[in-house]
Amino acid sequence: MQGAFVRALGAVYHLNCFKCMDCSVVVASKFFPIDGVDGKQHPLCERDYFRRLNLICAKCGQALRGSYITACNKKFHVDHFTCSVCPTLFGPQDSYYEHEGDVYCHYHYSTRFATKCAGCNSAILKQFVEINRNMRDECWHPECYMINKFWNVKVNVRRPNSLQPSTESVDQQPTNQPFLEEERRESATSLKDKQIRMEQQVYRIWTVLSAFEESSAACISDMLRQVSNGQYLEAIRMAEKFILHVEVLFASIDDLEYHFARLNLKGMSHVREARMLCRKTVDLFTLLSHTQETGARRMGMTQELLALVTGLAHYLKILIRIALTGALKLEREQEVREALGSFLDKLHMLAIQAGNPSAKRMMKRANGEVLSPGEQGNAGTQGVTYGFKSLAPENAGESPFSGGPRDPTLAKVNVVNPPSDLCVKCGLTVEEDCVRLGTYQRWHSHCLQCITCGKAAAVPIPKESTPKPLEDKDKLEDREREKEKNDGGKDGPKLSSARRPPANVRLFVYDADSVKDSPQFGPLPAVIFCTDHAHNGCRTGFQTVSRLEQYAFLLNVALRRLYVLLKKRGVVPATPNASAPREVGGQDPYGDDINRLKSVHLDRKLSATARVPKRSTVVESPTGKVAQPTDVMHSQREAPTQRAPQQARLQKPQQQGYSQTGPSRPQISPPGTVDVIRPSFARNNTEVMIVDESTPTSPAGGVDEPRLPGVEDGITLADIPQLVEAAQAREQHRSLPRQGSIPFIAELSPVELAIVKHSAVLALQRSSLRDQFDLDEILELVEVKKSSFWNKLFKPGNDKKSVKKKGVFGVPLELLVEREGSDSLHGASRTSLRVPSFIDDVVSAMRQMDMSELTDAIDRDPSSVDLTTDNPVQLAALLKKFLRELPDPLLTYKLHRLFIASQALSNEAERKRMLHMVSLILPRYHRDTMEVLFVFLKWVASFAHMDEETGSKMDLPNLATVICPSILYSRGRDGIRDESFGAIRVVTSLLESQDEFFCVPEEFLPILHDQDYFITSMELPSKDFLKKCDTYTRLKASGRTPALMSPVMGSSPFGSGTPRSDDPRSMPPR
C-alpha cells in the first residue's frame, strides 16, 4: 500500500480504488455502505444509494430528502413538480393531469389531450358517456348526452375549422397542431372560467328542464289516474297544475320572442305547436265532459284518449326544445346571456313552488309595494316571478276549485266564473293576440276603437319595412290560410303564424263613469276614447296581450267551464273543499308502470386523468459517511453502537405503520394520521423512513361522482303514451309483451338468436309454405357463423363492380352499418339496436317535429316542395329515398315471396304466425332497422284522426300503403298488381302487430330454456344446426329429454357406461 489510502468498511483502500459500486465514482469524501451478495459491505455514492431506494427526483436526478411528490409512478422534489410544457408548479392540493406518463397542468391538458364533448365542445375531465357512431366513439358529458337524447339539442355547435384535438393529432404535432389556435385564443384563466361556466350551464339546463318535464308528465299521469278512478275534482285540480306548467313555458317563449323582436331577428317557429297543445288540452276537457253525458262514472282508456295524451306530451316536449334552442341561439349568436338564465330561472321558481296554482307571483319591494313595470322588457311577464302577469292570482283571483283555505288578501279581486273567451265588442272568440282591461275583459286589437274618430288599436303589419328574415313566413301564413279554408273557413279573424306588432294601447283610454257591471265580463267600460279625444274623467289601463298569453287564458277558461259543467251534473261536489273521498283499494292502472318505466340508464365511465399529487416526507435518512485514516478497530467499535439504538428507535413506528395501512389493499387514512413506509430495498440495513401525508379528499382516491338527478327515478313526457297503453291493456284484460316474461328479439344472446332463427325456418319448412322458398337461400340469411358483408360480396357469382361501397344512399345495409353504424335506442325495448346512423339521426329529428303535418306530406313529390322551409317533409322524403335506393330492400328480395304467400293462407291465426316466422329470418341489420322504423311509424300514427279539424289522417293502414313500395317489392319491380296489394297487407299486419312480432314466439320459449343443448353448436353449418333443432323438437314431442351432444360426432360426450357424478339421472333415487 503506497501513497494516499483510506480506511473504511473494515478494510484499507487506495484513494482511487474506493469507488461507488454502481457508477465507479471515487466516494472517499462521502459514501453509503451496502451489504453485497458476497456478504461484504461495499460503498455507494449518494445518488446510487437513493436510486436503489427509488428516491430520485425524475426532473433533476438528485436524491430526495425531506418532502417529495409521487405522481405518474415517478417521484419529484416539491419545487420540481411542474407541468411538462410550462413552469406551472403544483401545490399539495392542486390537480394535475397525466398523459402517456407525463404531467400536465389543467390548461395544457385541456387544449392538447383532453377529449372534447360532442355536445358542448368543452374538454371532458370527469365522467363521460361513450357512444359508438360511424365506427368511432363519441364522448359526451353525461348531462350533454341527456340534453341531446331528450331534446335533440347540442349546447354548443362546434366550429367547422377547429377539429377535435385528440391523441391522434398529437402524433402529427410537427405538421398539424390544432391546439395552437386555442392556446393563442385562450389564456389559462379564461379557459378555466369558460369550462366552469359551461359545466354549470349544462348541469342547470339538464336539472331544470328534466324536473319541469317530469313534473308535467306527473300532472298528466295523475290527471288520467284520477279520471279513471272517477275522482273528477282531483283531476280538475291536477289539470289546473298542468295548465300552469304550460303557461310558464308560454311566458318563457314570449320573453325569448321579445329578445328576437328587439334585435330585429327572425323569431322561433312555435305558433303551430303552441296552438296544437292548447287544442289537444281543450279536446281532453271536452272528452271528459262527453264521458259524463253517457252516464259512465269512469272514463275508459279509449284510442281517442291515447291519441290525445300522446299529442299533449309530444307538443309540450317540442315546445321545451324550441325554447331551449331559442335561448341558446340568443346566447351563442347575439350574446344575450340573460335569455337562457331567465328561462331556466322561471322554470326553477315554478319547481320551488311545487307547481302550486294558488302561489302568489307578483314581485314586491321590501316595504310590500308591488314593483312597477319598467320601460324595457316584455310587458306581459314583467313584475311576476313566472308566468303571465294577468293570470297571477293577485290579478285573476283565486281558483274556484282550490283545495286550500281561502286567502283573504285575494277576496277583493273581481273574478268572473266562468270567464268568457269572447270579444267585448264583436262577440266572436278571441284566439290570437289582443287587448285586455284587467284579466277578464278582452277585445280584438281591431275592435278596440275610439268612439269619436273610429281609430283602432291594431297596428298594420308593415310590408316594405318587414325585415328580410321574416319573408319566409309569408309562405307559412299562406299555407295556414289555405288549411283553414279547407277546414271550412270559420268566421272571425284568420289565424296566422306571423309575428304581429303589439296594439297601440297607450293611445286609448276609457270613461270611468261609463263602467258598468256585466255578468259575462265583470266591470266593463261602455265608452272608449283615443288620447286625442279624451277628457279629464278618462283612465288608462288597457294592456296588450300576446298570442301565447291569450292561449294560456283560453286554457283556464276551458277548465273553469268544465268545472261548472261537471258541478251542474253533480259529478263534483258543490263546494270544492268537500272533496270526494279517495277510493281505497281501487285498482290504480298506473301504479306498477311508473316504477317500471325507467327512461334512461347510462353506462358512465370515469376520466381517470385528473389526480391530486401524493406527498411524502423522508423523515429519517443516513447523512453519509466519510472515509478517514483512523484506526480500524475504532471504526468497527463505533459502528454497532451507533446503529443499534437507531434500529430500536425505528422498530416501533414500523409496527404502527403496518397496523394503520393494514393488508395489501390500500385504504384512505383518516385526517391527521400518517402512513409510515419502509423502502423495499435492503430493509434490514436501510436507515430511511418515509411518512405518507394522505389526502382524504383526493379524487384519485376513488371518490364517487354524484349521480345525475332526474328521470331515472321518475316518468317523463316520453313515458306518457306507454303508461296509457299499459292502462288500456289492463282494462281490456290483455298483457303487453314488455310486461310478461317473453323476451324481445333484440335482447337475445347469439346462441338464443340462432335457436330462434333456425326454429322459425323449421316451422316454415313444416308449414304449407314449404314450396315457396329455397332452403339454401333462406339458410344463408340465418347463418350462425360470423359472415361479414365482404364474405357475401366476394362469393362466386357476385358482381363486385355493381355494388356501391361509398356514401350513404344506395349502399347495402350490412356495409353501411359496419362502416357508419349507430347504437339506436328507438326500438321497442330498452336494448340498443345497431342501425345506420342516418336512420337514427332522421328518426331522432322527426320525433322532435310536428307529425300531424309531416305524415300528410310523406308521399308528396319532393321536387314540388320547398325543402328549405319544410324540414319534416324534407326528412320524410330523404328517409323514403334512402329505403327505396337500398340494393336489397329492407324486407329483402329472398323473403318477398314468403311474405306475400303468408297472407294467402286462409286461417287468420296461421297467417299471423307465419308472418312472425318470416320476420324472424330477416338479417340482423335489416330486422333492427325495421324495428326502429316501425316503432317510429306506430308513434306517428298516434297523431292520426285527432279530431274533425286536426290530425294527419295517416293511420297505420295508410302509412303502410305509403311506405310499402320502398321496403317490400320483388326483384325487377315488375310485380303484378295483386302482389302489390299483398305487400301492403303484409306491411299493415307487421305494423299493427309489431308488439308481438318484436318478441320471441311463445312456442319457442321451451327450446330457449334448454339452450345448453345448443351451446357447443355455434360453429356448425346452418344445415346441421337446423337438424339439431329438428332432433330437439322430435325428442320433446316424444316426451324424451334431449341430452348434450358433441358437435363433432353427434354422440354423447360421455360413454354410455360411465355415469357422471354430477348428473342427477345417474344417481339412485333417495
Range from 34-38, 534-538, 564-568, 638-642 carrying the lowest mean pLDDT: 638-642
357 within some domain? yes
Mean of pLDDT values over 1020-1024: 82
- Residue-wise pLDDT for 519-557, tens only, equals 888 888 989 999 998 888 899 989 999 999 999 999 999
712 within some domain? no
% of the chain beyond a pLDDT of 70 = 68
Task: Tell which wins on pLDDT, 742 or 792.
Answer: 742
pLDDT band at 690 (very low <50, low <70, confident <90, very high): low
Residue 488 predicted with pLDDT over 60: no
pLDDT at 536: 87
Residue 623: what residue type? T
3-class DSSP state for residue 76? strand
- The residues, any chain, with a CB within 8 Å of residue 394's CB and separated by 6 or more, are 360, 361, 362, 370, 410, 413
Q: Which residue has the cell 349568436?
A: 333
Task: Tell which wins on pLDDT, 1051 or 260.
Answer: 260
Q: What is the per-residue DSSP string for 864-880?
A: GS-TTT-HHHHHHHHHH
Q: Which of 825, 803, 824 has its CA nearest to residue 814?
A: 803
907 within some domain? yes
594 within some domain? no
Task: Tell which wins on pLDDT, 940 or 346.
Answer: 346
Q: Which of 946, 977, 1000 is the last residue of a domain?
A: 1000
* Same domain (yes/no): 445, 458: yes
Q: Which of 176, 202, 230 is the last residue of a domain?
A: 176
Q: Where are the alpha helices (DSSP H) in 848-923?
A: 851-854, 871-884, 896-902, 908-921
* Same domain (yes/no): 92, 50: no
Question: How many angstroms separate the Cα of 453 from the Cα of each of 533, 534, 1066?
Answer: 8, 11, 109
Q: Which of 176, 192, 227 is the last residue of a domain?
A: 176
- The residues, any chain, with a CB within 8 Å of residue 448's CB and separated by 6 or more, are 425, 435, 456, 457, 458, 503, 505, 508, 528, 542
Q: Rounded distance, CA 33 to CA 45, Å? A: 9
CATH number of the domain where residue 143 is located: 2.10.110.10
376 within some domain? no
- Residue-wise pLDDT for 947-959, tens only, equals 555 555 678 888 8
Domain residues for the domain of 534 are: 434-462+500-545
Q: Is the omega angle on the peptide bond into residue 418 within 30 degrees of 0, that is, cis?
A: yes
pLDDT at 293: 54
Q: What is the mean pLDDT of the chain?
A: 74
- Residue-wise pLDDT for 773-783, tens only, equals 878 888 887 76
* Same domain (yes/no): 14, 98: no
pLDDT band at 1050 (very low <50, low <70, confident <90, very high): very low
Partners of residue 543 on adjacent β-strands: 436
* Same domain (yes/no): 817, 936: yes
40 within some domain? yes
Task: Tell which wins on pLDDT, 1033 or 737.
Answer: 1033
- Residue-wise pLDDT for 736-773, tens only, equals 554 457 888 888 888 888 888 888 898 888 888 888 88
353 within some domain? yes
Decide if 69 contacts 78 (C-beta within 8 A): yes
Question: Which of 96-110, 408-422, 856-870 is predicted most confidently?
Answer: 96-110
Residue 666 predicted with pLDDT over 50: no
Residue 491 predicted with pLDDT over 50: no
Q: Which of 954, 935, 957 has its CA nearest to residue 943?
A: 954
pLDDT at 549: 94
Partners of residue 610 on adjacent β-strands: 97
- Residue-wise pLDDT for 592-634, tens only, equals 443 333 444 456 565 655 666 665 666 555 555 555 544 333 4
Q: Where are the alpha helices (DSSP H) in 885-1013?
A: 896-902, 908-921, 924-941, 956-967, 977-992, 994-997, 1005-1009
Task: Tell which wins on pLDDT, 175 or 112.
Answer: 112
Mean of pLDDT values over 139-146: 90
* Same domain (yes/no): 91, 170: yes
* Same domain (yes/no): 824, 946: yes
DSSP summary character for residue 157:
P
Task: Tell which wins on pLDDT, 336 or 952.
Answer: 336
CATH number of the domain where residue 811 is located: 1.10.555.10
3-class DSSP state for residue 516? strand
Q: Which of 440, 387, 388 has its CA nearest to residue 414?
A: 440
Partners of residue 511 on adjacent β-strands: 538
DSSP summary character for residue 853:
H
* Same domain (yes/no): 23, 102: no
Q: Rounded distance, CA 957 to CA 478, Å? A: 30
Sign of the alpha-carbon dihedral angle for 467, 472, 473, 478: positive
Partners of residue 444 on adjacent β-strands: 434
* Same domain (yes/no): 972, 1062: no
Decide if 140 contacts 117 (C-beta within 8 A): yes
Sign of the alpha-carbon dihedral angle for 79, 82, 88, 90: negative
* Same domain (yes/no): 79, 53: no
586 within some domain? no
- Residue-wise pLDDT for 211-226, tens only, equals 999 999 999 888 888 8
* Same domain (yes/no): 44, 80: no
Q: If phi over 0 gives left and psi between -120 and 50 gives alpha, with beta otherwise, what is residue 403?
A: alpha
* Same domain (yes/no): 990, 1009: no
Pairing of strands 515-518, 508-511: unpaired
Quote the cell numbers at residue 696: 382524504
Q: What is the per-residue DSSP string for 1025-1045?
A: HHHHHHHHHHHHHTTPPPPP-
* Same domain (yes/no): 644, 758: no
- The residues, any chain, with a CB within 8 Å of residue 87's CB and separated by 6 or more, are none
- Residue-wise pLDDT for 875-910, tens only, equals 788 888 889 888 989 998 888 888 898 888 888 888
- How many domains does the structure of the chain reveal? 6
pLDDT at 650: 30
